[in-house]
Amino acid sequence: MENLHPDLERVLLTEEEIQKRVGTLAEEIASDYADARRVVLIGILKGAFIFLADLSRELSIPHMVDFMSLSSYGDRATTNGAVRLILDLRKPIKGEHVIIVEDIVDTGNTMKYLYNTLKGRKPASLKTCTLFKKDREHLEVPLDYVGFEIPDVWVVGYGLDYADRLRTLPYIAELKKEVYQE
Ligand code: 5GP
């Protein structure tokens, strides 16, 4: 790609590839929940807001959106997995059909924390959706909808940042190792 940002190694998935997959994920979800009164999509800030916006607009069944925000201790590229809730849902989810919408699952710690936290609130059903999943074994949380499996590198774009930069690129790109490993 021309004019690639100097911090980027390569583009992993183009805008077209991402948009197409978001469309098919929305179709899968719509068919799985065809009989549900409505679905609650819970987007995890900040990374998932662009994915959630696109997924929500592609989703043809009744649904509402809400948000949570978590913070991980330490530097995000090297975090040891401890997470803390910093913004909670506006409404109870008891009796609702809930889908957690994440940008990316790496170790699975964040999704596991979210899953266990929300399960305790007694939703009618709880599923997980992530657009990207890194190539790892032994995740301790079920992933119901996965957009793409990607290599174990730091990626940016389509909502994903590095130190709050490069978040709004329309594609997903690999950050140069020297940028985050220095
Ligand atoms: P996990 O708890 O699964 O190890 O990590 C999940 C969180 O770490 C994601 O929600 C995301 O905020 C962050 N993360 C993991 N890998 C990447 C990556 O390659 N790029 C970016 N921008 N964030 C990532």
- Arithmetic mean of pLDDT, 104-110: 93
Does some domain include residue 7? no
- Arithmetic mean of pLDDT, 74-99: 82
Does some domain include residue 127? yes
- Whichever domain contains 91, its CATH number is 3.40.50.2020
Q: What pLDDT is attached to residue 83?
A: 83
- The label of the residue with tokens 């201790």 reads 73
The band of 137, judged by pLDDT with boundaries at 50, 70 and 90, is confident
This prediction has a pTM of 0.94
Mutate to test the pocket of ligand 1, among 101, 160, 161, 165 (most ligand atoms within 8 A of CB): 160
Ligand 1 environment, Cβ below 6 A: 47, 76, 81, 102-111, 154-156, 160-162
Tell me the per-residue pLDDT of 3-46, one tens digit each, with 9 for 90 and over.
Answer: 899 999 999 999 999 999 999 999 999 999 999 999 999 999 99
Atom of ligand 1 nearest to the CA of 44: 10
Does some domain include residue 130? yes
Give CA–CA dist 116/162, Å, rounded. Answer: 27
Report residue 128 as tokens: 């997980």
Does some domain include residue 158? no
The band of 71, judged by pLDDT with boundaries at 50, 70 and 90, is confident
Does some domain include residue 178? no
- Arithmetic mean of pLDDT, 66-84: 73
Sign, CA dihedral 87-91-93-99, equals: negative
Atom of ligand 1 nearest to the CA of 107: 4
Instruction: Domain of residue 63: give its range.
Output: 16-73+81-150
Instruction: Name the nearest CA neighbour of 127 among 113, 141, 139, 140.
Output: 141
Summary count for the chain: helices (H), strands (E) = 4, 9
C-alpha distance from residue 14 to each of 26, 99, 145, 157, 171 (Å): 19, 25, 20, 10, 5
Does some domain include residue 59? yes
Task: Name the residues annotated as catalytic.
Answer: 106
Report residue 161 as tokens: 């940042």
Contact 9, 174 (CB under 8 A): yes
Domain count, the chain: 1
Does some domain include residue 119? yes
Does some domain include residue 11? no
